[in-house]
Amino acid sequence: MKTSSYINRYEFISLVRQRWLQFLVLILLVLVFFAVFNGKQKVDQRRSDIQSAQAKTNQKDSLGVILLDSIEAGYTVNVPRWYMPNQPHVIGYSYPRVAAMPPDELAIIATGQSDIYTHYVQPNLYGESFQLNYTELSNPVQLMFGSFDLSFVLINLLPLIVIAFTYNILSQEREQGILQVIASHPVSLYRWLLQKALMRYLLLSGILILLLVGLLSMAGVSLVADFSKTLTFILLTLGYLLFWFVLACLVNLRGHSSANNAVWLIAWWILLVLLVPSSVNQMANSLYPVPSRARLINELRVVNAEAEKKADKLLESFLRDHPELAGHEGGSTGWKEYFATQDLIKSEIQPVLDEYEMKLQQQQAWVDQLRFISPALLLQSSFNEISGTSTRHYEDYREQVSDFSLIWRDYFLPKIFRGEAFTKVMMAELPEFEYQSSTTHKLRTANILAVFICCSVLLLLGVLWSRQGKTSILAH
Amino acid sequence: MMIKKIAFKEFKENLREGRFSVSTLIVSLLLLMGVWLSYNYLISVQQQHAEAKENARNIWVSQDEKNPHSAAHYGTYAFKPKYPLSLIDPGVDKYSGISIFLEAHKRNESQYMAASDQTGLARFGDLTPDFILLFIIPLLIILIGYNAFTREKEQGTLKLLKGQGISLWKLILGKWTGIFLPVLIITTILFVIASILLMNVKDFGELNYGVLALLFLVYLTYYAVFINITLIVSCTSKQSGISLVSLLAIWIVACLAMPKASSNLADTIYPYPSRQAFAAAIEKDKKAGLDGHNPWSQAAKDFERETLEKYGVDSLSQLPFNFDGYRMQKGEEHEAQVYFKHYAQLKKTHQQQTKVYQASAVVSPFLPTRFLSMALARTDYGSHWDFADAAENYRLKLQEALNMNFAENSSYGDWAYKADKTFWKDIPDFNYIPPSYGKIFERNWSNFAVLGLWLLVSFSGLKFLSQKL
């Protein structure tokens, strides 16, 4: 007991004297600060975009209410005929709701797919939700380089800091001849190494967690709002850190020189962080290629033209499907034709579009299965999940908007067909969109488990290895 | 002579070392795989595009007789062509969409970026040749050269060499060549394979060998800079391990962190508007002027009065053309101006962002290389703008032809007018001719300059060290 505390004290003092500790604090502070700053900026931008859209909608709504008020009171209003808000189709088209996807509490952590997609759309009565453009206007160079976010710092840079911190944890002692001295003391070499590594691990994790918690709180992120997510985030980070520490110790145990250790560790980093993810992505694309979008464009046009031709004949069958709309003629046949055509186009296009979604989902499923082959993959998918910025979230959002646009349409159609007037009271009862962010808890637990299992397996391997050749670490 | 000997010794020594052969083998395999995947992808995409382009034209030509303005709303598509060198560097193609819908009253953004049809993993990057050329070969250089001097120091051979009175500059040059040689071989093989593959592809348009050679030179310059940096660090470090870790830190900053940081910086200083805000600003300006579909607005009334005065007639039906078609065209011209104004602003933001990237290039040799490589392969954002602008010009001409056909061949109020089936064929197809390389060089002179500067400064640094060592 006495010896171990002595080792710890010696290790701590030497880290301080070599300025390692100061360096670690400084570099982590700079990296985490910059990443949090960038993440916060993107999240704030997203929030303010949505807010200003919502404000504009509210403003327009209140103007609409004033107009409706005047119309209902029998005054003439100075608005063109085709813009009178007492016609339901005018409201359905010109007074759309904001279907927004506000950022999750921890969105700051990973930019994920949030720079590709837009965060609010305003589906209206005409056109179909599948025609809505969900991509954000952005400089493609930025999309290519990606964002300097926490996820980048933790997944890509943190392992390199660990490598720089530990590549010579044992080899240096041997190179400086200290190992021989230790060996002559009544202390187990393995225990000594373990303690040294543990000390460094705890130091690094302590600094990192303090910085993360401190800076995220300063950025206005509530870490207790969804504590299980915060906990997942921290546990995953700690597990990932542990993985690289264990790997570094294993490489050190091989008993080669410091430079050789560094080369090996870097090779592992390149493999796990750079090559495996891009290979998995490449394979996902090759195995489940999304059909050509170029072909889709023309296919859509042909179907569109066909559907328009069929529209007249279709009208009857449309009324058969919607008996509630029949028998209220009154100059509204044009509408029926229009929506009948839309329904037809949708029913013909849907299978084609479903194929795209399906391929993408297959890719995702495949990637999800393979996430265990590299902790970097696992962390990335988990961080995107925690941040609510994964591909799945955006898919989910599109689906919710699509459902909402149906609700929106269904609200107006009967009114339009029956020739009902839109009233002030109805303005307050318009359907509203609320995005429901869903999370898969199962996946998160599995991910945390996986990281720790990874580490334990590595540890076990290390123990077995060291049993095999007890003298190897002393050898040069 | 001396330099040659040292270079040869270095090369041989590397060959005997497992680390070198294993990493070279892996890099070569990755490159071959990258080229193969990239080639297959390119061929299939090229085929799809050619097919789609033809189909789009067919659909346009085979329209029934209809009102020209209906045809204008029906519209057509412009497909972005692929260029041969995108085999080596697909650049931002994945993020910039494949086609633009050309319709009446609206300038559309290009749609269907490939990245949105992939999982989130796509953001890690693809296994394409440019990934290996830009990221992995510099790492290979570091792996080969980090201990070029530290090893001599650790084994005490540097003192021996000095004792023999060797010129340190020659020693450095020898080592430099020893590292450069394998890199040169790998890069050359890649470029030769790429050009052989490209030679055998028919429908790609001309492969410009001069540009291919220039691209090759750009990469070699990039590697020369990395070799200089590697040797400088190896010269100044006391131990191999420290040298390796420092070089790795430099690589990370230059190739991974700086691009991301500069992208955040560019976005912070010169942010892009959100899609909706951009569209709303355009809509607002559009409403302030003439709308071809709205004869009741103040702008339309003014325009009506002016036209009547100009032609000295009392009513619109007395005009020698159909006023509906004419108003439609004038409306289109107003809208075109609005789009021009807003896209000019967007383009300005893009150019300001580009300046931020170019300024960051001073900190990272990766950045100028990255941009030059894309520009030469015609897969950079500038090339995308060229295409989008050309498509917009075509759209305006198309609208003009359709509106004028309507105006000249029908009388006022005659919305039932239908243009003949043969008319669709008379409108020429959209054939995009990209700007000359001269324009690309002009746009990228600062990248050339910065990369040249990197080479110069790093070489001078090495020379300076050779006197100090």
A336 backbone dihedrals φ, ψ, rounded to 5°: -65, -40
Note whether B131 contacts A278, CB cutoff 8 Å: yes
Q: How far apart are CA A57 and CA B76, in angstroms?
A: 33
Min Cα distance A113 → chain B (Å) is 6
Min Cα distance B337 → chain A (Å) is 20
Question: What H or E segment, with its residue span, contains residue B106?
Answer: strand B106-107
**SS3 state of residue B103:** strand
Q: How far apart are CA A281 and CA B141, in angstroms?
A: 26
Question: What H or E segment, with its residue span, contains residue B100?
Answer: strand B99-103
Name the residue among B122, B244, B262 with its Cβ closest to that of A281: B122
Min Cα distance B421 → chain A (Å) is 16
**SS3 state of residue B102:** strand
Count A/B contacts: CB-CB distance under 8 Å: 222
For residues A159 and A273, the answer to whether their CB atoms sit within 8 Å is: yes
Structure tokens at B85: 């060198």
**Closest CA in chain B for residue A292:** B48
Name the residue among A137, A140, A296 with its Cβ closest to that of B273: A137
ipTM above 0.95, yes or no: no
**Closest CA in chain A for residue B115:** A116
**SS3 state of residue B207:** coil
Note whether A278 contacts B95, CB cutoff 8 Å: no
Structure tokens at B183: 């890199």
User: For the residues B413-426, what does the mean pLDDT come to?
Assistant: 85
Name the residue among B55, B94, B274 with its Cβ closest to that of A136: B274
* Chain A interface test: which of B264, B385, B444 (most A C-beta within 10 Å): B264
Q: How far apart are CA B225 and CA B243, in angstroms?
A: 17
Q: Other CB atoms closer than 10 Å to residue B7's CB: what's the count?
A: 19
Amino acid at A220: G
Distances (CA, A) of A1 to A178, A186, A187: 21, 12, 11
Min Cα distance B443 → chain A (Å) is 16
Question: What H or E segment, with its residue span, contains residue A292?
Answer: none
Q: What is the pLDDT of residues B206-255, one digit of tens each?
A: 678 899 999 999 999 999 999 999 999 999 988 888 898 899 889 999 99
Identify the pLDDT of residue A316.
61
Strands (E), B175-331: none
Q: How far apart are CA B391 and CA A72, in angstroms?
A: 49
β pairing state of B76-79 and A120-121: unpaired
Min Cα distance A452 → chain B (Å) is 22
* Chain B interface test: which of A139, A273, A391 (most B C-beta within 10 Å): A139
Min Cα distance B178 → chain A (Å) is 20
Q: Is A120 left (phi over 0), alpha (psi -120 to 50) or beta?
A: beta
Question: What H or E segment, with its residue span, contains residue B47?
Answer: helix B18-61
Note whether B127 contacts A377, CB cutoff 8 Å: no
Q: What is the pLDDT of residues B175-201, one digit of tens each?
A: 999 999 999 999 999 999 988 988 877
Note whether A259 contacts B239, CB cutoff 8 Å: yes
Note whether A363 contacts B119, CB cutoff 8 Å: yes
Q: How far apart are CA B107 and CA B404, in angstroms?
A: 20
- pLDDT average per 10 residues of sequence, chain A (476 residues): 72 80 89 95 93 93 92 85 85 92 93 91 77 84 93 93 86 79 76 84 93 94 86 90 90 82 88 89 83 80 74 61 52 66 78 81 84 86 90 89 90 86 90 84 68 76 64 50
Min Cα distance A284 → chain B (Å) is 8
The 8-class DSSP code of residue B255 comes to: I
Contacts of A279 in chain B (CB under 8 A): 127
**Closest CA in chain A for residue B371:** A141
Identify the pLDDT of residue A331.
46
Q: How far apart are CA B288 and CA B93, in angstroms?
A: 36
**Closest CA in chain B for residue A361:** B119
Q: What is the pLDDT of residues B256-268, one digit of tens each?
A: 999 999 999 999 9
Distances (CA, A) of B409 to A248, A444, B100, B401, B423: 81, 68, 30, 12, 12
Note whether B111 contacts A113, CB cutoff 8 Å: no
Identify the pLDDT of residue B23.
81
Quick one: CA dihedral A374, A375, A378, A381, positive or negative?
negative
Contacts of B114 in chain A (CB under 8 A): 293
Identify the pLDDT of residue A53.
92
User: For the residues B46-68, what does the mean pLDDT come to?
Assistant: 88
Amino acid at A216: L
Identify the pLDDT of residue A468.
57
Cα B259 to its chain centre, rounded Å, is 15
Note whether B98 contacts A49, CB cutoff 8 Å: no
Min Cα distance A87 → chain B (Å) is 19
Closest CA to A113 of A62, A26, A42, A182: A42
Contacts of A274 in chain B (CB under 8 A): 124-125, 135-136
Q: Show the 3-state SS of A158-191.
A: HHHHHHHHHCCCCHHHHHCCHHHHHHCCCCCHHH
Name the residue among A134, A290, A302 with its Cβ closest to that of B117: A290
Contacts of A364 in chain B (CB under 8 A): 119
Note whether A259 contacts B244, CB cutoff 8 Å: yes
Q: How far apart are CA A384 and CA A396, in angstroms?
A: 14
**Closest CA in chain A for residue B71:** A305
**SS3 state of residue B312:** coil
* Chain B interface test: which of A141, A170, A381 (most B C-beta within 10 Å): A141
Q: How far apart are CA A238 and CA B137, in angstroms?
A: 32
Min Cα distance B320 → chain A (Å) is 31
Note whether A140 contacts B278, CB cutoff 8 Å: no
Q: For residue B364, name the pLDDT band (cuts at 50, 70, 90).
A: very high
A210 backbone dihedrals φ, ψ, rounded to 5°: -60, -45
List for chain B the helix, strand, coil content (%; round to 5): 75, 5, 25
Q: How far apart are CA A349 and CA A344, in angstroms?
A: 8
Note whether A160 contacts B249, CB cutoff 8 Å: yes
Q: How far apart are CA A254 and CA A439, in angstroms?
A: 42
Note whether B124 contacts A295, CB cutoff 8 Å: no
Mean pLDDT over all residues of chain B? 88
Q: Which residue has the tokens 């390149």?
A: A270
Note whether A380 contacts B120, CB cutoff 8 Å: yes
Q: How far apart are CA A189 and CA A3, in angstroms?
A: 12
- DSSP code per residue over B53-82: HHHHHHHHHT--SB-HHHHHHH-EEEEPPP
Min Cα distance B1 → chain A (Å) is 31
Name the residue among A41, A117, A281 with its Cβ closest to that of B121: A281
The 8-class DSSP code of residue A99 comes to: E
**Closest CA in chain A for residue B349:** A139
Identify the pLDDT of residue A328.
46
Note whether B52 contacts A294, CB cutoff 8 Å: yes
Note whether A137 contacts B278, CB cutoff 8 Å: yes
Note whether A377 contacts B143, CB cutoff 8 Å: no
Q: How far apart are CA B227 and CA B215, in angstroms?
A: 18
Q: How far apart are CA B93 and CA A144, in angstroms?
A: 10
Identify the pLDDT of residue A320.
57
